[in-house]
Structure 1
Amino acid sequence: MLQNLKELRDTGTLCDITLVVGSREIFAHRAVLAAGSRYFASIYRSDYTETHASRIELGSLDAGGVETVVQYIYTGVIKLTLGNVHVVLAAATHLDVLHLKDYCQQFLSDNISLGTCLSVWAVADLYDMDELKVQALKFILDNFTKIITMEDVLELPMERLLELLLKDELFVDKEEALFELVVKWTKYDVVNRRATFPKLLASLRIPLMELEYVINNMKSEPLLNEFPECLSLTDEAVSYLMRPQLSDLPPTGLNTRPRLGTLKDVIVVCGGQSEAVLEDGSRWTIANVPALAYVIDEDRWVDLKGSPPRNPVEMFNLSDTVYVASRGNHDLRDTSTHRYRFFCYNTKMEYGARWVLPQGMELELPGVMSNMMRGGVLTAVTPQAMFLLDTLGWNSATRSHLRLMFCFDTITKRWQQLSNLPDDLIVGYLKPLVITVGEDLYILNGTTVFKYNQSLGWTRDSFYSLPWHDEVTVLQTWLKANYSGQHYGTLPESSGDLMDITARIRRGFPEPKLEGCSVCVYKKDIYVIGGLKDYFMVDTVYKYDCKEQQWHKLCKLPTPRSCAMCCYAKLPYKAVMH
């Protein structure tokens, strides 16, 4: 019947109503429209002017949107796209078509992205879609670090921008970025927006900014000098930052409380073993200890909520997200393959941060997992990819180890196996050192270096010809090779410029007998965490200041720890609160 009704409409047969939208005429049947639209049903069940008219004006709507809605009434089928969903939603709402508004809402919900979230938020508010509005707003708050760089944010109405700036959950690297956004937004249409600048500035948490930034950057902004109240805000903030204990600003006030979404620089430590000392003085080793985060600018440790995966084997930071790799099969009876799973620390979950397994971050490899090799999984990260080299697979038929290497592309979210591995890529039973410089991957076995570039493939080189762009790379490599329990390869005695660097580290490192420590880099400073000394675990964290070229004893771990993994990351304040 629907098909026959559609054919009648397409041929103009028995059509008794014309919808006029601008210059376009849309022909239909009164009975069909009344059956599919509450708007038309109310017209034809009452005695309005339009009830007996042969033409109805719908000038406020889009002609394409009305045509799509009428087609849906006749066929029950609709094709929504990002290009037509807004006009279809407007027509469906005005004509009160059953279920179509819900379909549009579900389509918008499924297509929230960086490019659509601001428009979806506005549409949800316009049509009173409360659930969609909450979902879009959460996406905006969680991804504001990226949204802040987009042109669309400059077209936001003042009320919407102010609503975002007042949110405690706003994810942003630093409060300074919000000030720069407010200035940029105001100057985007300075004639009409100048008067709103003081109100937007008052929504910022200026006392959370760096003192030098407030004095040198904010106070030199011409917009501030136009409004005395703005200068008063900055002067108050400077007073607080210079003497926070004596300031009149309440320490728990809105302007001084960190946003829950402010990204903090941290060092995440996971895995390894810890140690407990009982009342009788005996020591017990503890496995599967919780993950920790060291908040660098606050000099404190905090337990990360949510249990990390058991027995992690690698840890790294990929696309500003912390990942921990674990290996093994869930089904112990399955001996034909072994599996790697990469859990990420998701800080944007509704019920708190947790370690979760993202879709696509699981890799199943052929071969029985062998314990004969001390090597195993090796991971390295470049800005565009993550590499995994596996030597644990054992081929029982050929009685040999399988050597497999995969690359995970951060853009396509897909794994790809790399072919043509060098025959001598893995030497003996040692676990080589893996580092990255830019987009290039280096695997070091003594003086032999294997280099992989996605464009050029594999090449072989010498350690002494590596493109060491700064001494930080050298220091980190040397420390990992000599002190980390995760790497068993050794670097050769360096020559030329590298000799002075490694010799200085050998002389200056406070604990030459330390083993099994964790090593990572933050802003060219190197952190050495925990380890073993004379068979006892230590709780000391050392820092190499690259600018001063000196070692410092930084702090202590909550408990002694050894053979752990660590990496630098950015976590929201709500994940590392006291």
Structure 2
Amino acid sequence: MNAQQQKLLDGLNDLLHSEELTDVTLMADDAEFQCHRNVLAASSPYFRAMFTADVRENRQKIIPIHGVSKKALGIAVKFMYTGTADITNDNVQVLITASNLFQLETLLGACADYMMKEICMENCFDVYDFAELHCLPALREEAKLFILEHFVELFQNELNLKKTDKSKFSDLISDDEVNVEKEEVIYQILVRWVDADRENRAASFPSLFGHVRLALMNRDFISSEIDTNPLVANNPFCKSMISVAKIYNLAKMSGADWKLAGMFKTKMLIFSGGTRTEEQRSFSCFDPETNKNYYGIEPDPPHDCKFKISRYKLAVTRDSNIFFLGGELCKTDISLALDSVYRYVPKLRNWERCRSMHSARCSFPVAVTGDRIYVFGGSEGHKDVTTPLNAVEFYETEDDEWQIVSPMPVAIFNQAACMYQEDVFIFGGQHSADGETQYLDTVLKYSLGTDTWTLVTTEMVNPRARCSSILFKDQIYVIGGCSKYQNILSVDIYNPVKNTWKFGKDFPEQRTTLAETQFDDVIYVIGGRVHLPVLSRSGSRRTIEAKDLYKYDPDSDEWTKVVKLIPHASFEICTTALVDTQFLKETGFISGL
């Protein structure tokens, strides 16, 4: 923009007069205003019609413009001159109104993009309604996807139940993207939605009930919870749906191969690692209930050694978003740690790059609370000389931002971390000092609320590193790992309330670097490194990476070998998440003993 245009733009605001919030008057009798006609007409079809067509406004000295404020018009006109606009939470809605009125598609798109980034638990329904009112399909879809991802949490709020009308509620529960662990939850929320205004909503129940996938439900739940509900029992359509579901369940029990439209989300074990390029990460899943294998991005064994990533972490947030953090790309004799962060996008079957960590790290633990991911210490990744870190930071997944918090009292790598209420407990790990690596038996506690560290007055029975810690029924299970001289097979169980230890049954085989994860009420342990009695050509013991699966039941304190081989498993990292099998490819290989 040249100096003359800037002068004209500065003077234009003096020509705008507003007595009310949503009405503006252009005082077009000023000679200087005529200089703006060409710019406005060239930028906006609205002004082009006003100033070039044979219409009344073209001859008027005072031009009223209804439905837009002086502030919004001023920003819109500035955008016509400069192609830039200062979009904020305070002005974005009025700017969308002005952009629609003046047919400024570029400004409208920029405002919609801004609102997409601001969608949160507090405003998602308002954004959904606003986008529908202003015919912004992309913004509406983004708000809808957010609601579907946080469906259960949002509808725990009674206000959301009350203000959501039938049309919107039907649109949500009928969508295959709704994020629930089981279909029973949809039915329960539907009943609560009706109860929020039973007098006016009871008549809508049958049509909404038609969106519930009864065939995906447990038969006992149908008999005990649904059959007995008067809303179902007194309606022929609902009763017929129940009958069809029961027929399907009988067919399923008989082994018939029915393909059911509807929800495809299943809780599975998740694995990842390197693949065909430095940037790519594989993505594979295993269903321990069916022993079926799936992948979204297939591992590439011929190239995996070249682009293998180790000592990374997978983290799953409450809405089942899966993140790949840090690690070490094993491409040279001395490899440095990565600061990269990726989020898996199921529909696209790829990893989306997120904001990088402040510190590159590998061999570190993570702790997840809601949509926040904490990372603790780790290593800078040198193979020969390990440099431990004490840096701690957390990632806000909704904001795509990392924030540094108080560092650990000592630099540690290969430690375990477990969230308990508002505290994170750090178990063991390794520390390098004076050229020597020490194995630790300490327990540290980090308090999220106060951002402070405490050395807990307890010790593990053995110094331990490369282990995992899992919370189960208010007790923390420390499993796997090794000390300086041996693999540690014991299951150490810590009570954070009483600050006491007890011990579970040892893991049944000699392994190191196990991958562990909790799945419902059991703990799964995948593979690990196994030392064979056969010597290699160099005279050292041969080591293989096992990909079998063991199950530990904390209640019975028993280990069971479940699967002999999971083809695409990782022997060092595993997590559990709810994934949609529509966006996965089944391998056809059924794992078993």
TM-score by length of 2: 0.69
Structure 2: which 5+ runs fail to align? 275-279, 430-438, 463-468, 534-543, 587-593
Who is 2:327 aligned against? 326
Q: For the residues of structure 2 that align with 1:417 and 1:22, how far apart are their CA atoms?
A: 45
Of 312, 323, 338, the match for 2:336? 338
Who is 2:92 aligned against? 85
- Report if the CA contact (8 A) 1:385-1:407 is conserved: no
- Report if the CA contact (8 A) 1:485-1:563 is conserved: no
- Report if the CA contact (8 A) 1:5-1:74 is conserved: no
Aligned: 1:378 with 2:378: no
Aligned: 1:409 with 2:394: yes
Counterparts of residues 427-466 of structure 1 (less than 5 Å): 433-438=415-420, 439-444=423-428, 448-454=441-447, 455=450, 456-463=452-459
Q: For the residues of structure 2 that align with 1:495 and 1:67, how far apart are their CA atoms?
A: 63
CA shift at 1:113, angstroms?
A: 4.7
Counterparts of residues 78-477 of structure 1 (less than 5 Å): 78-96=85-103, 99-133=106-140, 136-138=143-145, 140-141=147-148, 144=151, 148-149=155-156, 151=159, 155-225=163-233, 227-241=235-249, 244=252, 251-252=258-259, 256-260=260-264, 262=265, 264-270=266-272, 292-307=284-299, 310-319=308-317, 320=320, 321-323=322-324, 325-328=326-329, 338-344=336-342, 346-348=344-346, 350-352=347-349, 354-361=350-357, 363-364=359-360, 377-383=363-369, 384-391=372-379, 402-411=387-396, 413-414=401-402, 416=404, 418-419=406-407, 421-422=409-410, 433-438=415-420, 439-444=423-428, 448-454=441-447, 455=450, 456-463=452-459, 476-477=477-478
Aligned partner of 1:463: which letter? E
Question: Secondary structure of 1:197's match?
Answer: helix
CA RMSD of aligned residues (A): 5.0
Q: What whole-Å deviation, never above 9, does each CA across 1:311-362 have from its counterpart, x for those lacking one?
A: 31143424242435422598x79x8x933245545034x532x345422246
- Report if the CA contact (8 A) 1:343-1:355 is conserved: no
CA shift at 1:211, angstroms?
A: 2.5
CA shift at 1:200, angstroms?
A: 1.7
Counterparts of residues 500-515 of structure 1 (less than 5 Å): 502=503, 505-506=505-506, 511-513=508-510
Specify whether residues 575 and 463 from structure 1 end up closer, same or farther in structure 2 by C-alpha distance, changes over 3 A only.
farther
Specify whether residues 522 and 109 from structure 1 end up closer, same or farther in structure 2 by C-alpha distance, changes over 3 A only.
closer
Specify whether residues 480 and 492 from structure 1 end up closer, same or farther in structure 2 by C-alpha distance, changes over 3 A only.
closer
Question: Secondary structure of 1:340's match?
Answer: coil
Specify whether residues 515 and 359 from structure 1 end up closer, same or farther in structure 2 by C-alpha distance, changes over 3 A only.
closer
Specify whether residues 402 and 23 from structure 1 end up closer, same or farther in structure 2 by C-alpha distance, changes over 3 A only.
closer
Specify whether residues 488 and 50 from structure 1 end up closer, same or farther in structure 2 by C-alpha distance, changes over 3 A only.
same
Question: Secondary structure of 2:203's match?
Answer: helix
Larger mean Cα displacement after TM superposition, 73-82 or 87-96? 73-82
Q: For the residues of structure 1 that align with 2:8 and 2:414, how far apart are their CA atoms?
A: 72
Aligned partner of 1:28: which letter? M
CA shift at 1:500, angstroms?
A: 11
Q: For the residues of structure 1 that align with 2:576 and 2:484, how far apart are their CA atoms?
A: 18
Aligned partner of 1:440: which letter? V
- Report if the CA contact (8 A) 1:485-1:516 is conserved: no
CA shift at 1:213, angstroms?
A: 2.9
Q: For the residues of structure 2 that align with 1:493 and 1:136, how far apart are their CA atoms?
A: 45
Q: For the residues of structure 1 that align with 2:379 and 2:110, how far apart are their CA atoms?
A: 50
Aligned residues: 521
Larger mean Cα displacement after TM superposition, 551-560 or 194-203? 551-560
Q: For the residues of structure 2 that align with 1:410 and 1:139, how far apart are their CA atoms?
A: 19
Q: What whole-Å deviation, never above 9, does each CA across 1:473-511 have from its counterpart, x for those lacking one?
A: 56x42x4146x9999568799999999963x614xx5x3
Higher strand share: 2
CA shift at 1:105, angstroms?
A: 3.8
Aligned: 1:526 with 2:527: no
Q: For the residues of structure 2 that align with 1:187 and 1:494, how far apart are their CA atoms?
A: 44
Aligned partner of 1:80: which letter? I
Q: For the residues of structure 2 that align with 1:468 and 1:544, how far apart are their CA atoms?
A: 12
Aligned partner of 1:267: which letter? L
- Report if the CA contact (8 A) 2:337-2:380 is conserved: no
Specify whether residues 68 and 173 from structure 1 end up closer, same or farther in structure 2 by C-alpha distance, changes over 3 A only.
farther
Specify whether residues 533 and 133 from structure 1 end up closer, same or farther in structure 2 by C-alpha distance, changes over 3 A only.
same
Q: What whole-Å deviation, never above 9, does each CA across 1:524-560 have from its counterpart, x for those lacking one?
A: 4122333437457655422222334433332232459
Question: Secondary structure of 1:268's match?
Answer: strand
CA shift at 1:178, angstroms?
A: 2.4
Q: What whole-Å deviation, never above 9, does each CA across 1:59-112 have from its counterpart, x for those lacking one?
A: 6x2546765567648976644333433333234323445754444344445545
Q: For the residues of structure 1 that align with 2:144 and 2:187, how far apart are their CA atoms?
A: 21
CA shift at 1:295, angstroms?
A: 1.3
Structure 1: which 5+ runs fail to align? 273-287, 366-375
Q: For the residues of structure 1 that align with 2:418 and 2:95, how far apart are their CA atoms?
A: 50
Question: Secondary structure of 1:363's match?
Answer: coil
Of 562, 574, 590, the match for 1:554? 562
Aligned partner of 1:443: which letter? F
Who is 1:280 aligned against? none
Larger mean Cα displacement after TM superposition, 432-441 or 492-501? 492-501
Aligned partner of 1:505: which letter? K
Specify whether residues 342 and 153 from structure 1 end up closer, same or farther in structure 2 by C-alpha distance, changes over 3 A only.
farther
Specify whether residues 470 and 574 from structure 1 end up closer, same or farther in structure 2 by C-alpha distance, changes over 3 A only.
closer
- Report if the CA contact (8 A) 2:475-2:493 is conserved: no
Q: For the residues of structure 2 that align with 1:227 and 1:492, how far apart are their CA atoms?
A: 54
- Report if the CA contact (8 A) 1:175-1:204 is conserved: yes
Q: Percent identity?
A: 15
Aligned partner of 1:303: which letter? Y
TM-score by length of 1: 0.71
Question: Secondary structure of 2:313's match?
Answer: strand
Q: For the residues of structure 2 that align with 1:105 and 1:494, how far apart are their CA atoms?
A: 51
Q: For the residues of structure 2 that align with 1:42 and 1:495, how far apart are their CA atoms?
A: 75
